[in-house]
Amino acid sequence: MNQYQKIIKKISYTIIVIYFIIGVLDIITYKDSYGATYSILEGIFINVFEVKKERSYTEPLGIYKKPNKYFEKPIGFHLLGTDINGNDVLLQTLKGAKTALLLAFGVNLVAFPIGIFLGLIAGYFGGFIDDLIQWFYTTVASIPWLLFVITFLMVFGRGMFWIILAIGLTSWVELARLIRGETLKIRELAFIRSAKVAGKSNFRILIEEILPNTKSIIRITFALSASHVILAETVLTFIGIGIEPGSSSWGIMIAEAQRELMRDPPIWWNFFSASFLGILPLILALNFIAEEK
């Protein structure tokens, strides 16, 4: 790995850590003295930066003022403007990290146990078990994921749990194929034969010997899967079946920007913030990590 790649690697991990911290800050909530519930992230914007809600659109760097007895005193500005509901766009963009975090970890929490288990079993035992599992994941892969997710959400609803479950049930196939292929190679190596001679059970061989040797595949697949999930949520929300309105997500911001860009003059900052400050850095960071040797 050359110096350039090391720098890119450090930047990528830093970006992911920043998004993770922002997402956690928006998950943790507290109640103020009036009993209203806010996330820590919202509290920082309200109490530290004194970001207030406006009546409607405010341009980026638009100054908001505090009425005074003699004049209106400027006390700050909305760095990226506000949306049609007067919400600070920068805050909404940062809050989208929570949705991305929940989706990425939630979907992989559903998909990875299935993919790892079936891949290990198929590759290690072979024969009829391998044929059956290959038939199963080939059948699942033949179902268009978008049609499956749309049908699933129409039946069960558009809640976060159902979105995670719907995408997760279609996201394990590639991991199962990769784990199976790696297990087929590893099971023929000398240390696996030695483990069998030593009397280790098949379960212990799978968990202690084979699984640790697939960690690079799992890491790469996790990074790619997380980026695919984030983009999938954006697509689903854009066509009207993803995250419900009222939640904070980059998909909702982009869906709303479709109408805003047709205004005269166009309201561009919602689309710009969600696409280039929300989605793009995280997707690039995840893909750079996936390409890491």
Are residue 204 and residue 274 in the same domain, yes or no? yes
Are residue 131 and residue 62 in the same domain, yes or no? no
Q: Is 87 contained in some domain?
A: no
Say which residue, 115 or 70, is predicted with more confidence: 115
Are residue 158 and residue 270 in the same domain, yes or no? yes
Are residue 100 and residue 16 in the same domain, yes or no? no
Q: Is the pLDDT of residue 116 over 90?
A: yes
pTM listed for this prediction:
0.84
pLDDT, residue 292, reads 67
pLDDT, residue 25, reads 93
Q: Is 84 contained in some domain?
A: no
In Å, what is the CA distance from 246 to each residue of 88, 242, 243, 255? 14, 12, 9, 13
Q: Is 158 contained in some domain?
A: yes
Are residue 144 and residue 225 in the same domain, yes or no? yes
Are residue 10 and residue 152 in the same domain, yes or no? no
Domain end, chosen from 22, 44, 78, is at 78
For residue 155, the domain's CATH number is 1.10.3720.10
Are residue 187 and residue 275 in the same domain, yes or no? yes
Q: Is the pLDDT of residue 72 over 60?
A: no
Of all residues in the chain, the percent with pLDDT exceeding 70 is: 94
Average model confidence (pLDDT) for the chain?
Answer: 86
pLDDT, residue 221, reads 92
Q: Tally the domains of the chain.
A: 2
Q: Give the model's confidence band at 73: pLDDT under 50 very low, under 70 low, under 90 confident, else very high.
A: very low
Are residue 97 and residue 67 in the same domain, yes or no? no
pLDDT, residue 74, reads 45
Encode pLDDT of 205-243 as tens digits: 999 899 999 998 998 999 999 999 988 888 888 887 878
Q: Is the pLDDT of residue 75 over 60?
A: no
Q: Give the model's confidence band at 272: pLDDT under 50 very low, under 70 low, under 90 confident, else very high.
A: very high
Q: Which domain range does residue 11 map to?
A: 3-78
pLDDT, residue 50, reads 73
Q: Is 249 contained in some domain?
A: yes
235 class by beta-carbon count within 10 Å (0-12 exposed, 13-18 middle, 19+ buried) = middle
Q: Is 83 contained in some domain?
A: no
Q: Give me the DSSP letters along 122-169.
A: HHHH-HHHHHHHHHHHHHHHTS-HHHHHHHHHHHH-S-HHHHHHHHHT
Q: Is 86 contained in some domain?
A: no
